[in-house]
Chain A
């Protein structure tokens, strides 16, 4: 069993609201560098033993350009001998970074990788600075460029998710996150950045009445509002992906082993259902059923798609996002995948259970999922 690939460390920056939060003036490469530095310090591993730094980023241009994975490694003070790469699968980028690292380790490409992501939605806008869609494709297949908000409306429409249910879901996410913060259940994963020690997106006083008063954000006669969407967020994440043997030799207690992973495609206009197929694939590959999943971290891009995914997979909602989800905590696009995967692994350690899934939907019509298994 010594060649299993495990997650042996997880840290993230506080998540701050874009344009008005504490990281508005912080470059995403600087933020990523600090988080990776903290991961190395907390795990205490010799940085020279790291093979590669793979950073997810959904819009890798401007300050996020120039192979930000390499830049982050240098900013983190890693030796020049450690390589660096950037991967982009939009919202699935950081989870893809973990998959790439795990796959590389399985192939014998090093024993330890840093995988994570960084995204400043304050400083590099969604769609980037030079959105130049293929004009012919816009004519033939405009869905491929559809805004995320409209896909959330489509999902709500097609699966009949009422505004009231979306708002109840959002209130619950806010309450779970607020309770987790108050009880100190978020502190362990957060790295202080200067004097910023806490998440800034949470709205603990959210009420159903308050949400009901908001106007719809994407479709005049729709059901999705800013309150039932994940906020624009600045943040960075990192996990240590390594072989179980490496972890043992370095005195690390792994959080969880990576059992299987998958990506899938779906219609872009309902990209929010992506996690359904991806999750079914990881379960099938491990030969287990949904009932055996004790912990699920589902990225709450929108309440509408989260509700449909939970329903269609048939998982007990009590096992999903126990410390709150992205609607409350925030969603720095290319960084989120390492938060929810690191979180799922940590929850297996903290709360017990055998299997955990982290999964998310991806713009353009995709899903991505990771199945984790408890060590032990």
Chain B
């Protein structure tokens, strides 16, 4: 069996660079080569400037070795997997494979990232070559299509698939060796049909995009926005490739695309976002940025307008696109895969559809959705569990699941997984359940896009506005009490956050014995942004973490580090970054594949369960008033420099008081409860401040921070 410890990527275009970055994100060394002198080096520089970020950390960047071809070709000698991502030219690719054969190791594997050329044309008889088709951007789009032939080395395919799954976090889908494979074949038909019908019927592109994204549950960019993103020139290339390779009677070839308009756009440099705009463009003038949209009939730009795409014309348009697309899916099913569930998975993870075509068809016909392929070992799915089992407990905001081997899973079920009283009370129930009925560990996890966006601000605001101060103080205390009880429980608690874990959602994780995070973790104590301080133990647990890290340096460094992270409301840009910021401990785990997070968390919980005793926190030796004075001086400097507002200083001053331990003296360790109390009092006091309430109201109304 081939194992993959080192990877090479040939071709430092957008895709090649993005793939190399994701390999490095998995802490695997990677070589990135390009024929342009200095091209690979420059591509890394570009990737570091562009959003969304391709790299998770600076350490990952250092794992990339760049080089120029042909001189640096020998660098692939030590690589187990060589990914070819050069231009779509059969001869160029085959020449490269011949060159690679001279230098690469015996057991190494070569794969092509081609999106259009079948394997039978690329490598008709080479057992070491397969196709691995990534989607852009490779860090964020999870689909990987794999194409192998009967003669392809099966151990090589298995090694690539396992690596892509566990290390790169991919949903690996096997496709037949057909043009465009699964996702682009169907996706291409979907886009071209949507464009052709919109042009034919004279729809505004905003209306078309809104209607399509509503009908397919796909990203809000719709099809025209998507074309701008991938490049209209590239899309034309793909279309031409389909025309060359598909049977003459394939329905793809009879779509009435507005070819003249598309070619005119490309000729004018309007290739999309990478060019001078595409279907949409941003115009800058004296009054700022203005979004414009292309009129499909005239080929000229006009100011863009918002559309919900729910007028009768748009709705009928969307229905027709859906009908044609689903019919095409049935038409090509046997050719591209044969398994409707695989096709569904490809469209959901490659194009972001809410449900794949065969699930959509089943829904329309009232039939059960196609049976998903059996789960690979190590994967636990609450979605699958929900189909076959009832939760152990449930209330309006959360469920408690038995995920086997004596492990319970607490799942939030509110909108955006905002935390409320019902979630707190179910968390408290676990304290009774766990330890009885054979349960011996708790995992806190869910499968939503966001683990939790924190406490329900609207409820807090309502209480503050009617002056229900006692109730607020009790609410703060209830959350603190529940989280502290989880921390002190006789069983291990593992939090498994993915996506956003903000405010209270972060605080519940900080109280766990261990965190098993998805690599895409956006974690932060963001309370300061709405004019308050963390009140559910976030201050306490960050002090504990920073004392573990910096306590040996004296009383001030742990306080200053916790202060920086909380006062600036820093949010991690990945799980690895969350570790740098101090939310995750060095012993906490990171899982690259979203589907594997819960399984990994359960395994961690079971490891902790044998002979479990709650860890004693380190003694907190806090600097007291001197520390608060030091932090207030630094805040005053930031206010003077225009980097912070007066009310920021009020909030940060309150935070400084909490983190410094109030009247603590450095000679005497502070009880955690004393800091919990300081935190609660500071929060309730800030809720009396009009400017803090205004910040919360503004956030609720607009989703943006108010600078007052």
Q: Which residue numbers of A lie inside 8 Å of B, CB to CB?
A: 127, 129-135, 138, 142, 145, 147, 149-150, 216-221
Measured between alpha carbons, how far is A321 from B434 in the docked complex, in Å? 75
B629 within 8 A of A: yes
- Residues of chain A within 8 A (CB-CB) of B626 are 132-135
Q: Which of B589-623 contact A (CB under 8 A)?
A: 623
- Residues of chain A within 8 A (CB-CB) of B624 are 135
Q: Which of B548-584 contact A (CB under 8 A)?
A: 553-557
B641 within 8 A of A: yes
**Is B640 in contact with A138, judged by CB distance below 8 angstroms?**
no
Q: Which of B636-654 contact A (CB under 8 A)?
A: 637, 640-642
Listed A/B pairs (17) with beta-carbon separation below 8 Å? A129-B556, A130-B555, A130-B556, A130-B557, A132-B555, A132-B556, A132-B630, A133-B626, A133-B630, A135-B625, A135-B629, A217-B641, A218-B640, A218-B641, A219-B640, A220-B640, A220-B641
Measured between alpha carbons, how far is A222 from B555 in the docked complex, in Å? 34
Nearest opposing residue in chain A for B630, CB measure: A131
8 smallest A-B Cβ distances: which pairs? A220-B642, A135-B625, A132-B626, A130-B554, A130-B556, A138-B629, A135-B629, A131-B630
**Is B554 in contact with A129, judged by CB distance below 8 angstroms?**
yes
**Is B633 in contact with A138, judged by CB distance below 8 angstroms?**
yes
Q: How far is the CB of B200 from chain A (nearest CB, A)?
A: 53
Measured between alpha carbons, how far is A129 from B557 in the docked complex, in Å? 7
Complex partner residue of B640 from A130, A133, A150, CB under 8 angstroms: A150
- Residues of chain B within 8 A (CB-CB) of A150 are 637, 640
Q: Which of B503-544 contact A (CB under 8 A)?
A: none
Q: Which residue numbers of B lie inside 8 Å of A, CB to CB?
A: 553-557, 623-630, 632-633, 637, 640-642
**Is B554 in contact with A218, judged by CB distance below 8 angstroms?**
no
- Residues of chain B within 8 A (CB-CB) of A145 are 633
- Residues of chain B within 8 A (CB-CB) of A142 are 633
Beyond A135-B628, A149-B637, A150-B637, list 13 extra A-B contacts (CB 8 Å): A129-B557, A132-B627, A133-B626, A133-B630, A135-B629, A138-B633, A145-B633, A150-B640, A216-B641, A216-B642, A218-B637, A219-B641, A220-B642
- Residues of chain B within 8 A (CB-CB) of A219 are 640-642
Complex partner residue of B632 from A132, A138, A217, CB under 8 angstroms: A138
Measured between alpha carbons, how far is A150 from B636 in the docked complex, in Å? 11
Measured between alpha carbons, how far is A130 from B555 in the docked complex, in Å? 7
- Residues of chain B within 8 A (CB-CB) of A138 are 629, 632-633
Asked whether A133 and B554 contact (CB < 8 A) given A147-B637, A150-B640, the answer is no
Measured between alpha carbons, how far is A121 from B633 in the docked complex, in Å? 20
Q: How far is the CB of A268 from chain B (nearest CB, A)?
A: 13
Nearest opposing residue in chain B for A219, CB measure: B640
Measured between alpha carbons, how far is A129 from B642 in the docked complex, in Å? 25
Q: How far is the CB of A315 from chain B (nearest CB, A)?
A: 32
Measured between alpha carbons, how far is A134 from B633 in the docked complex, in Å? 12
- Residues of chain A within 8 A (CB-CB) of B556 are 129-132
Nearest opposing residue in chain A for B624, CB measure: A135
Measured between alpha carbons, how far is A150 from B633 in the docked complex, in Å? 12
Nearest opposing residue in chain B for A139, CB measure: B629
Q: How far is the CB of B641 from chain A (nearest CB, A)?
A: 5
Asked whether A133 and B555 contact (CB < 8 A) given A217-B641, A220-B640, A220-B641, the answer is no
Q: How far is the CB of B134 from chain A (nearest CB, A)?
A: 36
Q: How far is the CB of B564 from chain A (nearest CB, A)?
A: 13
Q: How far is the CB of A144 from chain B (nearest CB, A)?
A: 11
Measured between alpha carbons, how far is A147 from B632 in the docked complex, in Å? 12
- Residues of chain B within 8 A (CB-CB) of A220 are 640-642
Interface centre among A130, A134, A219 (most CB of B within 10 A): A130
- Residues of chain A within 8 A (CB-CB) of B625 are 135
Nearest opposing residue in chain A for B642, CB measure: A220
- Residues of chain B within 8 A (CB-CB) of A135 are 624-626, 628-629
Measured between alpha carbons, how far is A220 from B640 in the docked complex, in Å? 6
Q: How far is the CB of A63 from chain B (nearest CB, A)?
A: 12
- Residues of chain B within 8 A (CB-CB) of A134 are 626, 629
Nearest opposing residue in chain B for A145, CB measure: B633
- Residues of chain B within 8 A (CB-CB) of A217 are 641
Nearest opposing residue in chain A for B557, CB measure: A129
Nearest opposing residue in chain B for A137, CB measure: B629
- Residues of chain B within 8 A (CB-CB) of A130 are 553-557, 623
- Residues of chain A within 8 A (CB-CB) of B557 are 129-130
- Residues of chain B within 8 A (CB-CB) of A131 are 556, 630
Measured between alpha carbons, how far is A131 from B624 in the docked complex, in Å? 12
Interface centre among B554, B627, B641, B642 (most CB of A within 10 A): B641
**Is A133 in contact with B633, judged by CB distance below 8 angstroms?**
yes
Interface centre among B557, B625, B629 (most CB of A within 10 A): B629
- Residues of chain B within 8 A (CB-CB) of A129 are 553-554, 556-557
Q: How far is the CB of A7 from chain B (nearest CB, A)?
A: 38
- Residues of chain B within 8 A (CB-CB) of A147 are 633, 637
Q: How far is the CB of A226 from chain B (nearest CB, A)?
A: 12
Q: How far is the CB of B557 from chain A (nearest CB, A)?
A: 6
Interface centre among A127, A132, A219 (most CB of B within 10 A): A132
- Residues of chain B within 8 A (CB-CB) of A133 are 626, 629-630, 633
Q: How far is the CB of B146 from chain A (nearest CB, A)?
A: 44
Measured between alpha carbons, how far is A221 from B642 in the docked complex, in Å? 8
Measured between alpha carbons, how far is A150 from B640 in the docked complex, in Å? 8
Measured between alpha carbons, how far is A224 from B51 in the docked complex, in Å? 33
Measured between alpha carbons, how far is A218 from B641 in the docked complex, in Å? 4
**Is A132 in contact with B623, judged by CB distance below 8 angstroms?**
yes
Measured between alpha carbons, how far is A149 from B642 in the docked complex, in Å? 14
Nearest opposing residue in chain B for A127, CB measure: B630
Measured between alpha carbons, how far is A131 from B660 in the docked complex, in Å? 12
Measured between alpha carbons, how far is A281 from B358 in the docked complex, in Å? 92
Q: How far is the CB of B667 from chain A (nearest CB, A)?
A: 13
Nearest opposing residue in chain A for B560, CB measure: A131
- Residues of chain A within 8 A (CB-CB) of B641 are 216-220
Nearest opposing residue in chain B for A146, CB measure: B633
- Residues of chain A within 8 A (CB-CB) of B637 are 147, 149-150, 218
Measured between alpha carbons, how far is A90 from B442 in the docked complex, in Å? 55
Measured between alpha carbons, how far is A127 from B560 in the docked complex, in Å? 13
Measured between alpha carbons, how far is A147 from B643 in the docked complex, in Å? 15
Measured between alpha carbons, how far is A145 from B556 in the docked complex, in Å? 17
- Residues of chain B within 8 A (CB-CB) of A132 are 555-556, 623, 626-627, 629-630
Measured between alpha carbons, how far is A147 from B641 in the docked complex, in Å? 11
- Residues of chain A within 8 A (CB-CB) of B553 are 129-130
Measured between alpha carbons, how far is A150 from B637 in the docked complex, in Å? 8
Measured between alpha carbons, how far is A91 from B554 in the docked complex, in Å? 25
Measured between alpha carbons, how far is A135 from B663 in the docked complex, in Å? 11
Measured between alpha carbons, how far is A354 from B629 in the docked complex, in Å? 49
Nearest opposing residue in chain B for A133, CB measure: B629
Q: How far is the CB of A65 from chain B (nearest CB, A)?
A: 12
Q: How far is the CB of A116 from chain B (nearest CB, A)?
A: 28
Measured between alpha carbons, how far is A353 from B553 in the docked complex, in Å? 50
Q: How far is the CB of A303 from chain B (nearest CB, A)?
A: 18
Q: How far is the CB of A149 from chain B (nearest CB, A)?
A: 8
Measured between alpha carbons, how far is A142 from B633 in the docked complex, in Å? 9
Measured between alpha carbons, how far is A127 from B630 in the docked complex, in Å? 10
Nearest opposing residue in chain A for B555, CB measure: A130
Nearest opposing residue in chain B for A218, CB measure: B641
Measured between alpha carbons, how far is A150 from B625 in the docked complex, in Å? 24
Nearest opposing residue in chain B for A220, CB measure: B642
- Residues of chain A within 8 A (CB-CB) of B554 are 129-130
Measured between alpha carbons, how far is A349 from B556 in the docked complex, in Å? 48
Measured between alpha carbons, how far is A78 from B626 in the docked complex, in Å? 41
Measured between alpha carbons, how far is A220 from B627 in the docked complex, in Å? 26
Q: How far is the CB of A113 from chain B (nearest CB, A)?
A: 33
Measured between alpha carbons, how far is A74 from B630 in the docked complex, in Å? 36
Measured between alpha carbons, how far is A216 from B640 in the docked complex, in Å? 11
Nearest opposing residue in chain A for B666, CB measure: A132
Q: How far is the CB of B546 from chain A (nearest CB, A)?
A: 13
Measured between alpha carbons, how far is A128 from B314 in the docked complex, in Å? 65
Measured between alpha carbons, how far is A268 from B628 in the docked complex, in Å? 22
Nearest opposing residue in chain A for B632, CB measure: A138
- Residues of chain A within 8 A (CB-CB) of B640 are 150, 218-220
Measured between alpha carbons, how far is A69 from B124 in the docked complex, in Å? 74
